[in-house]
Chains A and B, each alone.
Chain A
């Protein structure tokens, strides 16, 4: 006890993507503070896009340079920053995925043509709705560009979340990703009260779930004596019987993570928040938050609690079934597109949980789909289609902004066949029709679950897919087989930004459906988690 301070060893080269993202976010804050209003937007968009691209490039470099390490299941990578961050195959895959999807989301954030030359975020968030201050903000065409650094902070948090090797780091990442999202949800330019209500709900429920998560960490620390996932794994595997302390800890941590995923019964926030938030933010949340949270769930449960899988598997079984059933059944009664997509995202979380619960790590030859690779692949397919679908939602508008009521979409297939066709295609992908990415994703998670012995769950999942298909088809019927109403909304002509988002999403949905090989190989090569 000399009180000597060991300087932690930081492998800067390996955590470079994280540093780039956080650095870019800080630059954004500085720009917001000092740059003049006239070119703030341009600077922010430039910094955001540059940051994300630079991070993506460095992620690829990190991924190429990962060392292969032996083991029962092939894995690549190492623990860095004294074990706080794990840079391994799954981490790098998720980083790449998150960065690509964030880059696409950033284009949606930057769309200005739809609101007559302004972004779709509130001009002055502090001005109360309906006050003079708000009117001034709108007549002077004030624009909020804080959304870009906020988004970068959220992306940084999302990247750390699934890569954390330590429960405390994971909790910090959870907060870093959540707080900007709470803010972003409340920043809609139109329907501000709804947006603020969504932000408030998200914040309150999110704070609750964070508390659960933290308390779970405390209990697990009490059991294992460490925050470190590797150490927890050793403690869990060493004991023969689960103690109440550990089980309670696992349950509470599960609650925190399942909340972020939007799994039933912790899904109640999803429809309200998805509906109220600005649609670009909804798309970003739906795609990226879910990916990050599933990454963290996989790591905590496969690495930390892998030894206790007999204790938590039944729990996840029940949650998966409940999530699929609630998501699919309740979606049928929705009459708002954004709410329907929210319930659909809940149902998809259930499908991913089916793959997760298979806990299958490959056969003797090492060939074949593992649970981890199937989930990674599913998240990829789901992320692109979801972003594309929300991008389409931003375009169907009338004088009051976006029209998200299903009945207003009637006859869209006739007035703008290309847009309606793209949306129908995303819906078919969600429904899992072959030759779309959604089918391949479903196939992978079902195969992993079945290989892990959960074939009953596969049959249940298949039947709920049918229910889900019903409400997707219903939207197609409304768009293509109904006549437009008298006050049919116009489809706004987007700038190249939104058009690019939709085009990329369609292309990804086709390619992942027809030639999934390359991406699947990447997911396979990610290998197992490094412990």
Chain B
């Protein structure tokens, strides 16, 4: 085993959380700074991980492996492939941003600021573990463990409905998690029947499985991930959670934690149950397309900005799932890239609406109007974040959405055409919200809204910079993602559909 870089990457935020718990209550003012430093150290380590990662080599890298519970075949096994690395990077990038943007949010909660930032760091550490786990048992344990920090973040620091939202979130997640537990147990039995039990992904991929068993286990995993993602019809916890949580919590929830759902679909549903994934794909694609349209349509009807952003995510997650289950390399790469980009754009949108809401004391769209006259920078950031959410070319989500649709088109023209409607609807919900809040006559109640402060600008700037940079030049990330997606798809064993139009150059034709 080499230097345990991934363990340290996940361990630093967890240690930071412990440090914050130990910090005396009287020193609560120092809590955000401690948390920020911790998350920046983690970001630095994340950059080191990315630097150590060899995009051309493929497979799992920086692997660590040790026996954990031999009788169960559970290992402490970490490692990242291109997909895992992308999401680990997303996590380490977003956490400092969230901490910076939530500098004062910890003071308003039920408990001290220490605990707010401690939970945030704990969540970061656990999320890194989830994305880096290469043992199903370890993944499951960490997957469920992430519920605890987010539950206390929503329940302890949110709005008036926080208790209700936190419990609803927890019960939904536990439903999925427990169904997945049954499937995880089933995997053990399958693996033990084949010889010595092992939960390592690499061992489980080769384990022989009956068709029915595979489909049942697939269902257990998929339902959990669909709840997490969230997909229609198991999405209803998200708007409530987002409307009650602080903006920072919403970012952690939607931009990072919900990605576990789509990440899990690629790694576990496709990786462990290739046959069942193909078997289920028509239903999943239909649900995904429906999520795209449903999320967008419901978003248009929202009057609360936070709920609106939450529903846009339902729509975007529809795209991501669609790209995964069409089994083309463009779709898969697009979806993975989309996870990263959606994380950025939704984070920007949640944070900037959060700042707006905090200034005005209301989340209702109708309570705003003409804000750009008094807060031009805020309005500008809001516009860019909004445009990235509707996938304007030149901003990063466009690339991923285009790839997903292009990949879908090759498998199912119908799904691609219907999903494209989602883009049109996205323009509606974003531009309507922007128009009603920022343009038009200045409302008297909104006249006193100050523009963004330095801390807020510092928090948002990295997001906008990344959105722009990846909009024009996504190739470095795609270079990392493509081999991993290619490996997954070849494991699923689908032949890439040949393009209808012969695109190969004449001189590449085989000579007669």
Contact = CB atoms under 8 A, between A and B. Distances in A.
Interface of A: 363, 365, 367-369, 414, 428, 431-435, 439, 442-443, 446-447, 450-451, 455, 458-459, 462-463, 465-466, 469-470, 473-474, 477, 480-481, 515-517, 520-521, 524
Nearest to B69: A517
A447 B69 contact: no
B156 A480 contact: yes
Given A367-B197, A459-B179, 17 more contacts: A363-B192, A367-B192, A369-B71, A433-B145, A434-B142, A439-B141, A439-B144, A447-B189, A450-B188, A462-B181, A463-B178, A465-B178, A466-B174, A477-B166, A477-B167, A517-B68, A520-B71
Contacts of A481: 110, 155-156, 162-163, 166
Contact of A365 (B68, B69, B72, B195): B195
Given A368-B192, A439-B141, A481-B155, A459 B170 contact: no
B383 to A, nearest CB: 37
Contacts of B195: 365
B23 to A, nearest CB: 15
A443 B185 contact: yes
A365 B191 CA distance: 13
A507 to B, nearest CB: 17
Interface string B125-153: 00000000000000011101101100010
A363 to B, nearest CB: 6
Contacts of B147: 433
Which of B72, B162, B179 has the most chain A CB within a 10 Å cutoff?
Answer: B72
A477 B162 CA distance: 11
Contacts, number: 103
A477 B192 contact: no
A517 B181 contact: no
Contacts of B193: 363
Contacts of A480: 110, 152, 155-156
A447 B188 contact: yes
B474 interface: no
Given A446-B182, A466-B174, A473-B171, A434 B69 contact: no
B186 A455 contact: yes
Chain B, interface residues (CB within 8 Å), range = 35 or more
Contacts of A369: 71-72
Interface string B105-136: 00000100000000000000000000000000
B181 A446 contact: yes
B373 to A, nearest CB: 40
B380 interface: no
A442 B197 CA distance: 18
B196 interface: yes
Given A517-B71, A524-B71, A459 B182 contact: yes
- The main secondary structure of chain A at its interface with chain B is helix
Nearest to A517: B69
A462 B179 contact: yes
B192 A451 contact: yes
Contacts of A470: 171
A416 B188 CA distance: 41
B70 interface: yes
Contact of B182 (A363, A428, A458, A524): A458
B163 A447 contact: no
A494 B145 CA distance: 31
A207 B319 CA distance: 65
Contacts of A432: 178, 181
A365 B185 contact: no
11 contacts: A367-B192, A433-B148, A435-B141, A446-B185, A447-B72, A455-B182, A459-B179, A473-B167, A481-B156, A516-B69, A517-B68
Given A462-B182, A466-B178, A521 B71 contact: yes
Contacts of B71: 367-369, 517, 520-521, 524
Contacts of A435: 141, 145
B175 interface: yes
Given A434-B140, A469-B171, A481-B155, A451 B145 contact: no
A314 to B, nearest CB: 21
A54 B61 CA distance: 53
Nearest to A458: B182
Contact of B163 (A469, A477, A517): A477
B178 to A, nearest CB: 4
A481 B110 CA distance: 8
B344 to A, nearest CB: 30
Contact of A442 (B110, B145, B175, B181): B181
B243 to A, nearest CB: 17
Contacts of B142: 434
Contacts of B188: 447, 450
A434 B141 contact: yes
A520 B163 CA distance: 38
Pick the most buried of A414, A434, A465, A515: most chain B CB atoms within 10 A of its CB. Answer: A434
A432 to B, nearest CB: 8
A87 to B, nearest CB: 24
A481 B70 CA distance: 40
B189 to A, nearest CB: 5
Contacts of A433: 144-145, 147-148
A466 B175 contact: yes
Across the A-B interface, the 10 shortest Cβ-Cβ residue pairs? A434-B141, A434-B144, A462-B178, A446-B185, A368-B192, A462-B182, A481-B163, A450-B189, A451-B189, A447-B185
Contacts of A524: 71
B189 A443 contact: no
A466 B180 CA distance: 12
Contacts of A516: 69
A472 B186 CA distance: 26
A447 B171 CA distance: 23
Contacts of B144: 433-434, 439
A39 B163 CA distance: 52
Contacts of B166: 477, 481
A367 B196 contact: yes
B196 A365 contact: yes
Nearest to A460: B182
Contacts of B152: 480
B171 A466 contact: yes
A470 B195 CA distance: 38
A473 B181 contact: no
Contacts of A431: 174
Contacts of A477: 155, 163, 166-167
A431 B175 CA distance: 12
A443 B72 contact: yes
Nearest to B67: A517
A155 B290 CA distance: 61
Given A433-B144, A480-B155, A520-B69, A458 B185 contact: yes
